[in-house]
Amino acid sequence: MKRRSFREAECPVARTLDAIGDWWSLLIVRDAFDGIRRFSAFQQNLGIAKGILSTRLRDLVEAGVLSLAPASDGSAYQEYVLTEKGRGLFLVIVALRQWGEDHLFRAGERRSMLVDAATETPVDRLKLHASDGRGLTWEDTRIVDAASCAPKGSPSPPKSA
Amino acid sequence: MKRRSFREAECPVARTLDAIGDWWSLLIVRDAFDGIRRFSAFQQNLGIAKGILSTRLRDLVEAGVLSLAPASDGSAYQEYVLTEKGRGLFLVIVALRQWGEDHLFRAGERRSMLVDAATETPVDRLKLHASDGRGLTWEDTRIVDAASCAPKGSPSPPKSA
DNA sequence: GCTTCCAGTTCTATTTTAGAACCAGTTTCG
DNA sequence: CGAAACTGGTTCTAAAATAGAACTGGAAGC
């Protein structure tokens, strides 16, 4: 009765959710983007049980999203910091944020906001584009099998690995 | 011992995850984007227990992400279709997909691909821009409280709601 | 009208989570 | 230095969620 795994799914969305799609992981990652690094800081900020946090952090480190580094304040403790792979989740967080802003707030309700630090102005909306720059909506797209759609530099035909 | 709720969180990311952040919801939404509409089709495609699927679909309908519509094939059954709100999750799915493509596949491994239907070429990567069009990375951004960052047409000061 | 399919609901067993208690190593500080 | 408090966990129990199978009532197929 184990939870189904999509680690080997053909769909990248499924693999991503398999890796970080549980209830707490993305919240932890969001906190990491907000500068939180210490176990107790995550725990207090999220109100998560320590046992769960412990396994989630371990899983995220195992997944290569976070890594353990010596504390920046010189103490003997360690900190959890985003790896390059973890920082790659930024647009996932932004996409979640923009959807929430659009659909989950009543008018005038207090909310945090993502701004361009240089100008303090809100960032632009994410948009999807074709390779030639045209804007795309869901209706303009299709899912195909990679084998049938080799990109320019066709790295290698899917023979073994 | 209820699961903590972020329905009233100030952070849009937290609200979004509260609404659709559990293990199955985004997979169901992904399937919906792929054209799946019937209970049994979701069930077979995901390998999810029927009981869970039942509550997940009910929750998604309640959240306004899916709606029930009479079956398009003329039968007496009903179908689950994405609402406008649900279609708004497209970029979330795309962001998850691109991260998975980048970090969760070995070279040459078979994977599905999102293409521009018109040209059959892979879509562009999502990118974040400032309001003036400059590309932004995480390091270029900050989270601020909405009240301290009123946008141009300052809709209304956060007085009541 | 009998059988099969569809879309669930209900049931039990297993797994996961929450929350509190506990603990070893660290830091504080008197 | 030694006691007290803090940090980062682990362990324990109880509650909740999930998996999987069995069951059900209406719709379709024949």
Residue B160 maps to a domain? no
User: Using CB atoms within 10 A of its CB, is residue A12 exposed (0-12), middle (13-18) or buried (19+)?
Assistant: buried
Give the pLDDT of residue A145: 84
Model confidence at B79, pLDDT cuts 50, 70, 90, reads: very high
User: Can you give the distance from the CA of residue A1 to the C1' of nucleotide C13 in angstroms?
Assistant: 9
Chain A positions in Cβ-Cβ contact with residue B94 (cut-off 8 Å): 95, 128
The reply to whether B16 and B83 lie within a common domain is yes
Structural domains counted in chain A? 2
* HEC string for B5-72: CCCCCCCHHHHHHHHHCCCCHHHHHHHHHCCCCCHHHHHHHHCCCHHHHHHHHHHHHHCCCEEEEECC
- For residue B157, is it within any domain? no
Asked whether residue A54 falls in the same domain as residue A21, the answer is: yes
pLDDT at residue number A127:
97
- Residue A45 covered by a domain: yes
Kindly state the average pLDDT of the residues B74-97: 96
A26-61: pLDDT as tens digits: 999 999 999 999 999 999 999 999 999 999 999 999
A49 strand C contact, CB < 7 Å: yes
Domain holding B62: CATH number?
Answer: 1.10.10.10
Nearest to B20 by CA among B48, B59, B68: B59
CA closest to B23 among chain A residues: A22
Does the pLDDT value for residue B153 go beyond 50?
no
Which of 116-135 (A) contact B at CB < 8 A?
116-124, 126-134
Q: How confident is the model at residue B158 (pLDDT cuts 50, 70, 90)?
A: very low
CA–CA separation, A153 and A70 (whole Å): 41
Q: Other CB atoms closer than 10 Å to residue B55's CB: what's the count?
A: 11
Cβ atoms of B144 and A120 closer than 8 Å: yes
pLDDT value for A153: 32
Structure tokens at B82: 């994405």
User: Is residue A157's pLDDT more than 90?
Assistant: no
Q: What is the largest CA-CA distance in chain A?
A: 56
Q: What is the pLDDT of residues B13-59, one digit of tens each?
A: 999 999 999 999 999 999 999 999 999 999 999 999 999 999 999 99
Is the domain of B105 the same as that of B123?
A: yes
Residue A24 or A3, more confident: A24
B46 and B70 fall within a common domain? yes
CA of A60 to C1' of C25 (A): 24
- Inter-chain CB proximity B120 and A144 less than 8 Å: yes
The mean-pLDDT minimum among A155-159, B77-81, B146-150 falls in A155-159
| B67 in a structural domain | yes
In a domain, B95, yes or no: yes
The answer to whether residue B4 sits within a structural domain is no
Q: Which nucleotide is nearest to A79 (CA to C1')?
A: D8
Q: What is the pLDDT of residue B1?
A: 52
What gap in Å lies between CA B130 and CA B140, rounded to an integer?
9
Structure confidence at residue B19 (pLDDT): 96
pLDDT in tens, A96-134: 999 999 999 999 999 999 999 999 999 999 999 999 999
Tell me what the mean pLDDT of segment A78-85 comes to. 97
Nearest CA among B67, B107, B116 for reference residue A131: B116
Pick out the nucleotide with least CA–C1' distance to A58. D9
**Are both B76 and B99 inside the same structural domain?**
no
Last residue of a domain, one of A69, A87, A105: A87
Which chain A residues are closer than 8 Å to B122 by Cβ?
131, 149, 151
Residue B125 lies in a domain: yes
How would residue B145 be classed by pLDDT, with cut points 50, 70 and 90? Answer: confident
A66 and A44 fall within a common domain: yes
Q: Per residue in B7-21, is it b (16+ CB within 10 Å) or e — as a string?
A: eebebbbbbbbbbbb
Q: Are residues A82 and A111 in the same domain?
A: no
Residue A77 shares a structural domain with residue A16: yes
Q: Is the dihedral of CA A145, A150, A151, A153 positive or negative?
A: positive
Q: Write out the residue range of the structural domain in which residue A67 sits.
A: 12-87
A31 touches chain B (CB under 8 A): no
Domain shared by A72 and A97, yes or no: no
Verify that B61 and B76 share a domain, yes or no. Answer: yes
Token pair for A4: 């189904």
Q: Are B137 and A127 in contact (CB under 8 A)?
A: no
A74 pLDDT band (50/70/90 cuts)? confident
The answer to whether the beta carbons of residues A115 and B149 sit under 8 Å apart is yes
Instruction: Mention every residue, 6+ apart, whose C-beta is less than 8 A from residue A62.
Output: none
**Cα(B68)–Cα(B81) distance, integer angstroms:** 6
B17 and A96 within 8 Å at the Cβ level: the answer is yes
Model pLDDT, residue B146: 66
pLDDT band of residue B72 (cuts 50, 70, 90) is confident
Is A34 in Cβ contact with B109 (below 8 Å)? no
Q: Residue B74: which pLDDT band, with cuts at 50, 70 and 90?
A: confident
A128 contacts in chain B (CB < 8 Å): 90-91, 94, 123-124, 126
pLDDT of residue A5: 85
> Do B73 and B97 lie in a common domain?
no
Q: Which of residues 97-116 of A touch B (CB under 8 A)?
A: 97-116
Whether B111 contacts B105, CB under 8 Å: yes
Please report which confidence band the pLDDT of residue B5 belongs to, taking 50, 70 and 90 as the band edges: confident
Q: Both A44 and A83 in a single domain? A: yes
Mean pLDDT over the full length of chain B: 89
Residue A148 lies in a domain: no
